[in-house]
C-alpha cells in the first residue's frame, strides 16, 4: 500500500496545538505520526488522502497558523526509510524485545520478536502497540485461542503465540499487512497463526475466541465491537487500543451495551488501551 506523508508546519510552533492536530488527524485514518521541530509528519494510506478532508478536519487555533506539504511514498522506499530513520530495537519491561532482522540479538530477554518492517503498522514503537504488548505480557495466554484483529505486522498475535496461545488468527483489511504478518510468523518460527484478508464481516461463523486483540481506531471499534463480541467466549477478554483517553467513555459505553465488563486500562501520551471481560 503506498502511503502519503503530510508534513505539517506550525507558526509559531506549539506542542499543545501540534497534539490537538495529531488527535484530529487520528480520527480520519491517519495511522502514524512523527514529531518534528516545527510540527509533525503524519502518514495515511494514499487512497484515503484528500486535501479537502485534511483541511476540513483541522480546526484552526487562534494565534497559530499552519502550512502542509504532501509527499507520496512509494512502497519500495518505505522499508529502507524506516530502517534508516526510525526502527530501533525496543525493549518492553525487560520481558520482550522487538527488533528488525538487521539488528543484533537480545539473548537475555525472554520474548524476542523479529519484525521485518514494511508498510504494515506494528513495530512496538507506537504507544498503542506497546500498551497492547504489555497487556499480553500481563495475561496468561497458555492454551488460549486468540484473534489479532487488524494484525498489521502480526506483532500482537506473534507475542500471544510466544506466550503459549494454542491457536492465533490474524485478520487485516490490507493485503500488505496479511503478507507481512505471514513473513513475520515465519521469521519468528510461529506455526500456529493463520492470517486472512478481511474485516469484521469475516468473523461470522468462526469458532469462539478466548482473547480478542484489536488495535484499530475509535470509529471502527465502535462499529465492529458487536461483531467481535459475537465470537468472544463468555468470560473471554477483549483488549482494544487505537484511540485517545477522551474517547474511552464512548468505548466503555459501547462495551457495556455489548455485555462487557471493564477491567482496567493503560494510558500513554493520551493513547489508551482498555481491557474488558465478557460476562459469563
Ligand atoms: C493501528 S494498526 C495496528 C497493527 C498492530 N495490530 C499493532 O498493534 O501494532 C491497525 C491495523 O488495522 C487494519 N485495519 C484497519 N481497519 C480495519 C478493519 N475494519 N478490520 C480489520 N483490520 C483493519 C489496518 O490495515 C492496520 O494494519
- Beta strand 3-11 with 39-45 is antiparallel
| Confidence label for 33 from pLDDT (cuts 50, 70 and 90) | confident
- Residue 5, C-alpha cell as written in the block: 506523508
- How far is ligand 1, taken at its centre, from the CA of residue 145, in Å? 19
- How far is ligand 1, taken at its centre, from the CA of residue 217, in Å? 8
Residue nearest to atom 22 of ligand 1 (CA): 150
How far apart CA 231 and CA 148 sit, in angstroms, is 13
Residue nearest to atom 10 of ligand 1 (CA): 216
- pTM, two decimals, is 0.77
Convert the pLDDT of each residue in 255-269 to its tens digit: 999 999 999 999 999
Q: Quick check: CB of 177 below 6 Å from ligand 1? A: yes
Quick one: 255 and 137 in the same domain?
A: yes
Quick one: 30 and 169 in the same domain?
A: no
Convert the pLDDT of each residue in 104-155 to its tens digit: 899 999 999 999 876 667 677 789 999 999 999 999 999 999 999 999 999 9
CB atoms within 10 A of CB 243: 27
Quick one: 52 and 95 in the same domain?
A: no
* Res 3: pLDDT: 86
Cell 521469521, residue located: 187
Q: Quick check: CB of 172 below 6 Å from ligand 1? A: yes
Quick one: 64 and 128 in the same domain?
A: no
Residue nearest to atom 7 of ligand 1 (CA): 122
Q: Detail the residues annotated as belonging to a binding site.
A: 129, 150, 172, 215
CATH assignment at residue 18: 3.30.70
ipTM: 0.99
Convert the pLDDT of each residue in 193-248 to its tens digit: 999 999 999 999 999 999 999 999 999 999 999 999 999 999 999 999 999 999 99
Find the length of the chain: 280
Convert the pLDDT of each residue in 147-191 to its tens digit: 999 999 999 999 999 999 999 999 999 998 999 999 999 999 999
Average pLDDT, the chain: 92
- How far is ligand 1, taken at its centre, from the CA of residue 8, in Å? 24
Quick one: 69 and 184 in the same domain?
A: no
CATH assignment at residue 201: 3.40.50.150
How far apart CA 169 and CA 167 sit, in angstroms, is 7
Ligand 1 atom closest to 216 (CA): 10
Quick one: 93 and 223 in the same domain?
A: yes
Residue 74 and residue 61 in contact, taking contact as beta carbons nearer than 8 Å: no
Q: Which domain holds residue 16?
A: 3-73
Q: How many domains does the chain have?
A: 2
Q: Detail the residues annotated as belonging to a binding site for S-adenosyl-L-methionine.
A: 129, 150, 172, 215
Quick one: 66 and 108 in the same domain?
A: no
Residue 67 scores a pLDDT above 90? yes
How far apart CA 227 and CA 258 sit, in angstroms, is 10
Q: Provide CB contacts within 8 A for 245, sequence distance 6+.
A: 267, 270, 271, 272
Torsion angle defined by CA atoms of residues 24, 30, 34 and 35, in that order, rounded to the nearest 10 degrees: -10
How far apart CA 229 and CA 235 sit, in angstroms, is 11
- How far is ligand 1, taken at its centre, from the CA of residue 215, in Å? 6
Q: Quick check: CB of 157 below 6 Å from ligand 1? A: no
Please report whether residue 78 resides in a domain: no
Q: Quick check: CB of 121 below 6 Å from ligand 1? A: yes
Q: Provide CB contacts within 8 A for 85, sequence distance 6+.
A: none
Last residue of a domain, one of 73, 94, 116: 73
Mean pLDDT of 43-62: 91
Residue nearest to atom 20 of ligand 1 (CA): 199
Quick one: 102 and 239 in the same domain?
A: yes
- How far is ligand 1, taken at its centre, from the CA of residue 273, in Å? 14
* Res 85: pLDDT: 65
Q: Provide CB contacts within 8 A for 259, sequence distance 6+.
A: 229, 278, 279
Ligand 1 atom closest to 124 (CA): 9
Amino acid at each position: 500500500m503506498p502511503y502519503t506523508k503530510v508534513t505539517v508546519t506550525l507558526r509559531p510552533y506549539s506542542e499543545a496545538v501540534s497534539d490537538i492536530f495529531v488527535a484530529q488527524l487520528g480520527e480520519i485514518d491517519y495511522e502514524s505520526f512523527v514529531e518534528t521541530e516545527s510540527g509533525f509528519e503524519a502518514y495515511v494510506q494514499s487512497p484515503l488522502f484528500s486535501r479537502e478532508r485534511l483541511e476540513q478536519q483541522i480546526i484552526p487555533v487562534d494565534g497559530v497558523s499552519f502550512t502542509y506539504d504532501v509527499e507520496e511514498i512509494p512502497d519500495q522506499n518505505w522499508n529502507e526509510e524506516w530502517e534508516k530513520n526510525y526502527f530501533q530495537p525496543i525493549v518492553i519491561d525487560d520481558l520482550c524485545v522487538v527488533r528488525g532482522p538487521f539488528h543484533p540479538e537480545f539473548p537475555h530477554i525472554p520474548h524476542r520478536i523479529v519484525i521485518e518492517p514494511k508498510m504494515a503498522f506494528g513495530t512496538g514503537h507506537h504507544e498503542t502497540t506497546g500498551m497492547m504488548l504489555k497487556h499480553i505480557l500481563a495475561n496468561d495466554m497458555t492454551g488460549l485461542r486468540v484473534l489479532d484483529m487488524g494484525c498489521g505486522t502480526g506483532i500482537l498475535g506473534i507475542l500471544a503465540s510466544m506466550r503459549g496461545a494454542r491457536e492465533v488468527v490474524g485478520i487485516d483489511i490490507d493485503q500488505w499487512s496479511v503478507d507481512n504478518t505471514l513473513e513475520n510468523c515465519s521469521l519468528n518460527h510461529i506455526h500456529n497463526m493463520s492470517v486472512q484478508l478481511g474485516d469484521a464481516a469475516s468473523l461470522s461463523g468462526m469458532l469462539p475466541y478466548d482473547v480478542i486483540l484489536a488495535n484499530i481506531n475509535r470509529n471502527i471499534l465502535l462499529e465492529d465491537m458487536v461483531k467481535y463480541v459475537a465470537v468472544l467466549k463468555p468470560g473471554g477478554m477483549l483488549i482494544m487500543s487505537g484511540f485517545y483517553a477522551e474517547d474511552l467513555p464512548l468505548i466503555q459505553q459501547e462495551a457495556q451495551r455489548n455485555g462487557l465488563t471493564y477491567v482496567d486500562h493503560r494510558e500513554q501520551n493520551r493513547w489508551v488501551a482498555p481491557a474488558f471481560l465478557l460476562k459469563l
